[in-house]
Amino acid sequence: MDRTGFDALLLDVVKRDEDFLLAYGGEAVRTPGGREVAHYDARLLEHMARESVLLGELSVTRLASLALYALEVDVLAQGRDPVVEAFEALISGDPLIQRRFGCGEAPEPEPEVLLDLLADNGLVVSLFVGGVAALAKALNRFLLAGSESAVCFDLEGCAAFLRRVYEELTPARKAAVAYLSRRHASGLAAPLLLTGGQITPSEYACAVLSFHAPGTGGEGIPTPDLPFALDGLAVDWERPAAGFAAMRAGIAEVTDYALASDRAKAADATLADLIAEGESHRLEFKSTFRWNLKAGRNDPDVSHASLKSIAAFLNSAGGTLLIGVRDDGSIEGIETDRFPNADQFAVHFWNALEGSLGPTAVGLVRARFEAADGRTVAVVSCAQSPRPVFLENRNQGQEFYIRVGNRSLKLGLEKALHYIRHHFPAAALD
């Protein structure tokens, strides 16, 4: 439905018995695959409606939120994954990975073209001087922080690590990676870094524009195969600032959708849903909070394991810790921690949290108790912190954790400082 035929007054989010429906003129809006645009959380559909009103049309080709929803329900939910299908090509043809490992021919501007651009527009300086360099550093930090150091020097190890990171994403974030890679011909590393919060939209836009500057040969970058057309990257290099602004706005649509999807899922997810999802970068299971099952006694190291997971979620993109759930998803229950009742467990938990992470971090954590298999599970939800959160370890002082894949990783001082400068650029450290 193009701009000339779109009437915003006809667009509505309709409540049904078990979900909400995006409707236009009283009829269900449908994906290219013919599926209704429906969701159990109205906020996600309201987000899509707002985006379509701002755009002035309802088109999967140009409306990012509708395209992302279609990728989820028409493609990923049907057992197909365009990124996995094209993974080897995406890795081998990725400009950042080519630069990092010296493989292939990364897009480079012809010197005379670059000089002309620099002479005409100062913005291009940031595109070429800052864009790719910032992403290359971010990729290197991500590899160093996220896996064994050998990954940084081995293309095969890097590919395996990035694939594992991708496969642990939520469907909405997988859709975002596929969409960005296809629409901007940006490879795999840049979309992964962006959706994972490792780089800013500006850094992504600068680097991707530099991949496609005149004379670079960036049109040869491989992309995932999607079942519907998308508007590609179009920049008037006489006015690159306009292209940069438009690209940033488009990126915001994608990241807003992924965030809205995450929030909708977190707000509505039942304990059974969470357990079925399995451990990931946003979800972890712990059998107990203080009781060492092997030693048969209370153990501060067991508590530390839960607290470091919470700290890692706060320092990353947020997440959920289930206390009372074994690694295999079966129920242990907080009863094993030997508290008289859930209230006493809660008092101990909040005291430990405040003592180890501080009162500010406590305000970013929510906890509830749910019954399962005759036992009780603590569901601990952690928001993304606007400031770095340090864990006080009575034996080793302050520690800094982030979430990488399905584990909580402690960073040494140098890596922590690098991460904090990037991830919390506006935070004033005490």
Given a cut of 50, is residue 256 above it in pLDDT? Answer: yes
Residues 252 and 322 in one domain: no
Given a cut of 80, is residue 321 above it in pLDDT? Answer: yes
The CATH number assigned to the domain holding 336 equals 3.30.950.30
Residues 296 and 371 in one domain: yes
Given a cut of 60, is residue 149 above it in pLDDT? Answer: no
Token output for 357 = 């992470």
The overall average pLDDT reported for the chain is 84
Query: Of 312, 318, 301, nearest to 382 (Cα)?
Result: 318
Q: By percentage, how much of the chain surpasses pLDDT 70?
A: 86
Q: What angle do CA 47, 232, 114 make, to 5 degrees?
A: 120
Range in 62-71, 149-158, 281-290, 389-398 the model is least confident about: 149-158
This prediction has a pTM of 0.65
Q: What is the pLDDT of residue 421?
A: 79
Total number of domains in the chain: 2
Residues 239 and 332 in one domain: no
pLDDT digits (tens, 9 = 90+) for 65-124: 899 999 999 999 999 999 999 999 999 999 888 888 877 665 555 555 555 655 556 555
Residues 214 and 291 in one domain: no
**Type of residue found at 324:** G
Q: Which domain holds residue 115?
A: 77-265
User: What mean pLDDT do residues 203-218 have?
Assistant: 79
pLDDT digits (tens, 9 = 90+) for 2-37: 455 788 889 998 988 777 899 999 899 999 999 999
Residues 232 and 274 in one domain: no
Q: Where are the alpha helices (DSSP H) in 56-86?
A: 64-70, 82-85
Residues 112 and 138 in one domain: yes
* Any domain includes 9: no
pLDDT digits (tens, 9 = 90+) for 224-250: 999 988 888 777 777 777 777 888 888
pLDDT digits (tens, 9 = 90+) for 339-362: 999 999 999 999 999 999 998 888
220: DSSP letter: G
Q: What is the pLDDT of residue 272?
A: 85
Q: Which residues contact 124 (CB under 8 A, 6 or more apart)?
A: 114, 117, 118, 213, 240
* Any domain includes 275: yes
Using an 8 Å Cβ cutoff, are 136 and 99 in contact? yes
Q: What is the pLDDT of residue 4?
A: 56
Q: What is the pLDDT of residue 428?
A: 42
Q: Which residues contact 182 (CB under 8 A, 6 or more apart)?
A: 82, 223, 224, 226, 230
